[in-house]
């Protein structure tokens, strides 16, 4: 019997040009919104584009994303092979590894150390850094964006390496920031021709016009620094006998006592390097959204603070044991993550084999994107989706509803490996800041409120609230003292 290959049509999308396909149609910012608009124009929740023979599929509906990326995860958990990853020396990055043994080994280690139970070992670090951030907010509230960055970065560096970040000029942070600044745009599909025409990767950096090559050389240099500085610090800590719960110090101690293979060490380091990139910008973005939404939602803030005052009281700062007793704060967390998912398109999932969705052919190698932004702004599920309303997460009887899956963490087997850590960091940040401060729009010299530009910066992959001014003031002199006392007791 000769089996005929099933034929199919691609999902709808903009008409491709000869050779380049839709290269010039792909949005480089406002991606979530633009693809939702494509969906409306084509009257379809699944869309297709083509760039130089590469297929891209965008899914705007939750059910389709669940079907393709969860139920059919065996076929849809890959990442594309992009030459730029090798050029940048980013092959250590778990988020970029294709689905296979190498990824599986790394993911297993992530799972062991970042699962719900294991990630609780990081709670003391999260609490300490949040308390330090409260003091910073007290001292220089106008610099809240810098304090937000410092908070997220210092938690990650402490969790992974026991590395104590003193300020944002820290050499390890500088190296990581430069790596991302140079590397991120190169990595985007439309950002670098190297991704599309792999042969360009062989052009030496000194050839005029080989811009990506030159930038890649710089990015490689900073990637090396980003890896070496904290690892050298771990060695220093161990020599000095410093006891830290960090992932890498714990591992190194285990290695020194019971032994560990080279491979295990390599994997552990790769996890630590990956987490820095995966954890900081995403958490910074979600926290910036929190500040913004509080400044524009005084009613939400009042309700949240009333709940904290009722449950926690005014004589101590909140801690993780309070989480289950604060449903409204939980709803604020869910709503922050819904309102502006930090990675609006998540990450691409490539298909290992041809697949079909209805009559639509999704060829092997297709990069499938769940449009998380569109799914969390679906009017069918979230009425008035552009409004910030934690109330949408409550049932009529006043209890939290079961919509507790935070879609911002992505899909299937590639779902965010650090979602429990992220959830804990976000929650303790939200509850602590609300317990201590009132956040409102800043006022001009005449006492008139300054409206905040609602726009977000969107670089195609990540999104973050554009810088804005707001007023952050302590709720009472007593709370001010609480913060000062708690921080003065820290080492
Ligand atoms: C608010 C914060 C965060 C958000 C919104 C977020 C979101 C995401 C998303 C959307 C993905 C891709 C999922 C997919 O492919 O479908 C991802 C992957 C990943 N995230 Fe997160 N993340 C956050 C924080 C963190 C933290 C704190 C860690 C580590 C402690 C982390 C570690 C990772 C890793 C290792 C991956 C790669 C997983 C893989 O490819 O198998 N993330 N994250």
pLDDT (tens digit per residue) in 23-66: 778 887 788 999 999 999 999 999 999 887 789 999 999 999 99
pLDDT of residue 211: 63
| Coil vs helix vs strand at 23 | coil
pLDDT tens digits, one per residue of 176-195: 888 888 877 776 654 445 55
Distance 136 CA to ligand 1 centre (A): 27
Interface ipTM above 0.95: yes
Question: Can you say whether the dihedral through the CA atoms of 277, 104, 63, 349 is positive or negative?
Answer: positive
Cβ-in-10-Å burial (0-12, 13-18, 19+) of 116 comes to exposed
**How remote is the CA of residue 429 from the centroid of ligand 1, in Å?**
18
pTM of the model: 0.94
285 lines ligand 1 (CB under 6 A): no
The span from the CA of 488 to the CA of 414, in Å, is 41
Kindly give the number of the ligand 1 atom that is closest to the alpha carbon of 69: 16
Structure tokens at 481: 């003292």
Over the range 188-216, which residues count as b (16 or more CB within 10 Å of their CB) and which as e? Answer: bbbbbebbbeeebbeeeeeeeebebbbbb
Closest ligand 1 atom, CA of 274?
Answer: 35
State the Cα–Cα distance between residues 406 and 375, nearest whole angstrom: 11
pLDDT tens, residue by residue, 409-458:
999 999 999 999 999 999 999 999 999 999 999 999 999 999 999 999 88
pLDDT of 203 over the 70 cut: no
* Residue 469, CA distances (Å) to 45, 286, 444, 472 in order: 37, 17, 11, 10
Return the residue whose CA atom lies nearest to atom 32 of ligand 1.
418
470 carries a ligand binding annotation: no
Listed in sequence order, the DSSP H helices in 340-462 are: 372-376, 419-436
Residue 421 CB less than 6 A away from ligand 1: yes
Kindly report, residue by residue over 274-308, the tens digit of the pLDDT.
998 899 899 999 999 999 999 999 999 999 999 99
User: Best mutation site among 373, 409, 415 for ligand 1, i.e. most ligand atoms within 8 A of its Cβ?
Assistant: 409
Q: For ligand 1, is residue 272 a contact (CB within 6 Å)?
A: no
* Cβ 153 under 6 angstroms from ligand 1: no
Dihedral-angle region of residue 70 (phi above 0 means left; psi in -120 to 50 means alpha; beta otherwise): alpha
Cβ 10 vs Cβ 366: under 8 Å: no
């Amino acid at each position: 019997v000769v089996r005929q290959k099933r034929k199919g049509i691609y999902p709808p999308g903009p008409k491709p040009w000869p050779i380049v396909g839709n290269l010039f149609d792909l949005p480089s910012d406002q991606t979530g919104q633009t693809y939702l608009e494509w969906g409306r124009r084509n009257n379809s929740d699944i869309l297709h584009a083509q760039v130089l023979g590469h297929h891209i599929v965008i899914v705007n509906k939750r059910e389709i994303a669940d079907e393709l990326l969860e139920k059919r995860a065996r076929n849809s958990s890959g990442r594309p092979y992009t030459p730029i990853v090798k050029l940048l020396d980013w092959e250590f990055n778990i988020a970029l590894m294709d689905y296979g043994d190498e990824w599986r080994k790394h993911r297993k280690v992530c799972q062991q150390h970042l699962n719900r139970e294991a990630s609780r070992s990081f709670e003391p670090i999260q609490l300490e850094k949040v308390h330090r951030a409260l003091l910073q907010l007290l001292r220089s509230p106008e610099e809240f964006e810098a304090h937000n960055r410092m908070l997220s970065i210092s938690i990650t560096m402490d969790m992974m390496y026991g590395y104590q970040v003193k300020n944002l000029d820290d050499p390890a942070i500088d190296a990581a920031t430069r790596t991302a600044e140079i590397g991120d745009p190169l990595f985007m599909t439309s950002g670098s021709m190297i991704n599309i025409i792999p042969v360009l990767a062989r052009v030496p950096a000194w050839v005029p016009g080989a811009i990506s090559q030159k930038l890649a050389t710089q990015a490689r240099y900073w990637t090396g620094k980003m890896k070496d500085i904290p690892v050298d610090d771990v060695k220093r800590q161990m020599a000095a006998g410093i006891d830290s719960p960090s992932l890498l110090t714990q591992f190194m101690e285990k290695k020194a006592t019971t032994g560990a293979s080279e491979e295990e060490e390599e994997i552990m380091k790769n996890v630590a390097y990956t987490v820095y990139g995966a954890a900081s910008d995403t958490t910074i973005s979600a926290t910036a959204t929190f500040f913004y939404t509080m400044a524009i939602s005084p009613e939400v803030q009042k309700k949240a603070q009333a709940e904290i005052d009722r449950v926690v009281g005014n004589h101590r700062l909140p801690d993780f044991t309070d989480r289950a007793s604060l449903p409204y704060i939980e709803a604020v967390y869910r709503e922050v993550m819904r309102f502006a998912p930090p990675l609006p398109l998540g990450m691409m999932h490539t298909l290992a084999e041809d697949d079909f969705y209805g009559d639509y052919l999704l060829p092997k190698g297709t990069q499938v994107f769940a449009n998380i932004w569109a799914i969390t702004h679906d009017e069918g599920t979230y009425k008035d989706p552009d409004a910030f309303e934690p109330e949408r997460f409550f049932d009529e009887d006043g209890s939290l509803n079961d919509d507790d899956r935070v879609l911002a963490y992505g899909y299937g087997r590639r779902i965010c490996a650090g979602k429990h850590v992220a959830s804990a960091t976000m929650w303790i940040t939200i509850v602590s800041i609300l317990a201590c401060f009132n956040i409102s729009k800043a006022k001009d010299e005449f006492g008139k409120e300054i409206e905040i530009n609602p726009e977000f910066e969107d670089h195609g992959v990540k999104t973050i609230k554009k810088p804005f001014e707001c007023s952050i003031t302590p709720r009472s002199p007593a709370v001010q003292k609480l913060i000062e006392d708690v921080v003065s007791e820290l080492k």
